Amino acid sequence: MRGLIRGDEVAMSDQAEMLRKIVGNMQGGFAADYDSIPEKKARVITVTSGKGGVGKTSITVNLAIALGRLGLKVAVIDVDFGLANIDLLFGIAPKYTLLDLIREEKSIFEVLTDGPDNIKFLSGGSGVEELISLDRKKLRKFISNIALLDKLYDIILIDTGAGLSQNVMSFIMAADEIVLVTTPEPTAITDAYALVKMISRRDRRKIIRILVNKAETAREAENIANKLIVVSEKFLSLKLTKLGYILYDDTVMKSVKQQKPFCLSHPRSQAARSVFEIADALVYNGQRAEQTVGARGFMQRVLSFFGA
């Protein structure tokens, strides 16, 4: 695995210090020197699935750790409002949630929770309905808060709920890049294709990467990914790409029970090695969005889908 990918660690450190000063000067609004920070947009990647139970959230948590090990600044936002459980997999109870940010009771930096390996995560809690009912002034302030993430993080992973609901589809379509998790189960594959079909109807330019989880063999995983790729291109005119696979590994379930990501509890396990390879591929290989919208653009898109 490659080492640190950034040669500007000092600049990032200075940038973080600048942000801390800005936050320290915030008194109900935003400091005047906020705009003086060099423009930067985080890479926003949505991790999703057609059905629940495929290991999507576990992959998100461990992928964040693997990306952090590559020298990237990573934040995870849990938008599975029905079953938010990022905090359970980290084994860390958040003091605040997205709802505290929506209600303007806390700033973005106060609601971000410290995770392992310098990762930050934001627990979704419940609040989509409350978010889309905000007036324009409060919406602008909320988006400005979210936009601060662009200044500090390289990658923001969005952990969605499973399925094809409007809430889930809004967060999927708002991202430039999508990691679609499936398993060898026929229902999981069928639901993954149904999700791809929904995406294709709205935007065929989306970058969708297939990640097969819990496969028995590498051949099985490759066959599943290849079938999804061939069918999607033939019938939907949508090109998918393979991101990688994680074979079935008992240590994954053990880590869930321990409430500790398997990349930390079992770093030499087959699953952990696979996730580090996937992180490497995500950073160094394959297509990227030509112009990422960043955290601000992502949230603006989400709200536009709700008509806010």
25-83 pLDDT, tens digit per residue, is: 443 444 334 455 557 899 999 999 999 999 999 999 999 999 999 999 999 999 876 66
Residues 6+ apart with CB under 8 A from 56: 47, 48, 49, 159, 160, 162, 181
At the top level of CATH, which class does the domain 46-305 belong to?
A: alpha beta
Burial class (CB in 10 A: 0-12, 13-18, 19+), 134: middle
CA distance 16 to 3: 22
Place of tokens 């423009």: 39
CA distance 176 to 296: 13
- What is the pLDDT, as a whole number, of residue 29? 42
Residues of the chain predicted below pLDDT 70: 1-38, 81-84, 125-129, 132, 286, 290, 308
Give 68's Cβ-side CA count (13 Å radius): 20
The pair of three-digit structure tokens given for residue 229, joined into one six-digit string? 């790729």
- Find the largest Cα–Cα distance for the chain: 57
Place of tokens 């969605």: 160
Domain ranges across the chain? 46-305
The pair of three-digit structure tokens given for residue 129, joined into one six-digit string? 């309905």
Contact 112, 74 (CB under 8 A): no
- What is the pLDDT, as a whole number, of residue 127? 61
Q: How many CB atoms lie within 10 A of CB 118?
A: 11
- What is the pLDDT, as a whole number, of residue 308? 60
Q: What is the pTM of this model?
A: 0.86
End-to-end CA distance of the chain: 43
- What is the pLDDT, as a whole number, of residue 275? 98
Residue type, 83: L
Residue type, 156: I
Strands 43-49 and 120-122: unpaired
CA of 196: how far to CAs of 46, 118, 234, in Å? 14, 33, 13
- What is the pLDDT, as a whole number, of residue 97? 87
- What is the pLDDT, as a whole number, of residue 128? 62
- What is the pLDDT, as a whole number, of residue 33? 43
User: Which residues does residue 177 pair with via DSSP β-bridges, in sequence order?
Assistant: 45, 207
Residue type, 3: G
Residues 6+ apart with CB under 8 A from 170: 302, 305, 306
- What is the pLDDT, as a whole number, of residue 137? 82
- What is the pLDDT, as a whole number, of residue 126? 63
Contact 300, 151 (CB under 8 A): no
